[in-house]
A and B are shown apart, each in its own frame.
Chain A
Amino acid sequence: QKEVEQNSGPLSVPEGAIASLNCTYSDRGSQSFFWYRQYSGKSPELIMFIYSNGDKEDGRFTAQLNKASQYVSLLIRDSQPSDSATYLCAAAGNKLTFGGGTRVLVKP
């Protein structure tokens, strides 16, 4: 079992809709969680991080963390074609462990 699991997708959403991405982790010692966006051929770009249970909003992005269920999610509101990318979830203990990523496709 991988330490951080994500559905590989592709997750296809119409423009203007909400994209919902999920991530589960196995290490209960993980303290913080990160979402990175990676465009094809580019390096990962940090878009959000969350440490505490609950929701954290930043612009069109909302991260949700439930440590009891070992579950992290990312919501992208008003999805735009420019949001089409692979989204990587990462859990931090003494190092960052990445999931395999979810490919998101926003269709105009």
Chain B
Amino acid sequence: KAGVTQTPRYLIKTRGQQVTLSCSPISGHRSVSWYQQTPGQGLQFLFEYFSETQRNKGNFPGRFSGRQFSNSRSEMNVSTLELGDSALYLCASSLSLGDTEAFFGQGTRLTVV
């Protein structure tokens, strides 16, 4: 059974650019959550999608957005990148909303220069 797949694994962008990250959940899982991990702030919740709808949102600016497709794959977008957006972005999938037994992908390491 394939795990959670995130692409790309590594990304380097310059300030002001925008970036799109992709996450394919475990087959049969319908909930996808996104997290930002930095050494100073730890793992911080960005948002959760279920049935193509955003169900929960963390305390991040509107530059951070996401969406989910009918096959449960999800993308997150960050516009107008700032140096502080450099982080490991993790996607986690779970069977359904409220099922918080979540399984993480390998993450996308974003570096903003």
Chain A residues proximal to chain B, CB less than 8 Å: 32, 34, 36, 42-46, 49, 88, 90, 92, 94-101
Chain B residues proximal to chain A, CB less than 8 Å: 33, 35, 42-45, 48, 56, 58, 90, 92, 98, 100-107
Tell me which residues across on chain B come within 8 A of A45, comparing CB atoms: 104
Evaluate contact between B42 and A101: CB separation under 8 angstroms.
yes
Evaluate contact between A95 and B104: CB separation under 8 angstroms.
no
Evaluate contact between B56 and A94: CB separation under 8 angstroms.
yes
Tell me which residues across on chain A come within 8 A of B107, comparing CB atoms: 43
**Number of A-B residue pairs having CB atoms within 8 Å of each other in the complex:** 46
Tell me which residues across on chain B come within 8 A of A44, comparing CB atoms: 43, 90, 104
In Å, the complex CA distance between A92 and B100 comes to: 7
Tell me which residues across on chain A come within 8 A of B58, comparing CB atoms: 95
Closest Cβ–Cβ distance, residue B43 to chain A (whole Å): 4
Closest Cβ–Cβ distance, residue B29 to chain A (whole Å): 13
Evaluate contact between B56 and A95: CB separation under 8 angstroms.
yes
Tell me which residues across on chain B come within 8 A of A32, comparing CB atoms: 100
Tell me if A's interface is mostly helix, strand, loop or mixed: strand
In Å, the complex CA distance between A46 and B93 comes to: 12
Evaluate contact between B43 and A46: CB separation under 8 angstroms.
no
Closest Cβ–Cβ distance, residue B90 to chain A (whole Å): 6
Evaluate contact between B45 and A46: CB separation under 8 angstroms.
no
Complex A-B, nearest 4 residue pairs according to Cβ-Cβ distance, in ascending order: A92-B100, A98-B43, A43-B104, A100-B42
Can you show 20 pairs from A to B with CB atoms below 8 A apart? A42-B106, A43-B104, A43-B105, A43-B107, A44-B90, A46-B103, A46-B104, A49-B101, A90-B100, A92-B100, A94-B56, A95-B45, A95-B100, A96-B33, A96-B92, A98-B35, A98-B42, A98-B43, A98-B44, A99-B42
In Å, the complex CA distance between A49 and B103 comes to: 12
Tell me which residues across on chain A come within 8 A of B90, comparing CB atoms: 43-44
Closest Cβ–Cβ distance, residue B98 to chain A (whole Å): 7
Tell me which residues across on chain A come within 8 A of B44, comparing CB atoms: 98
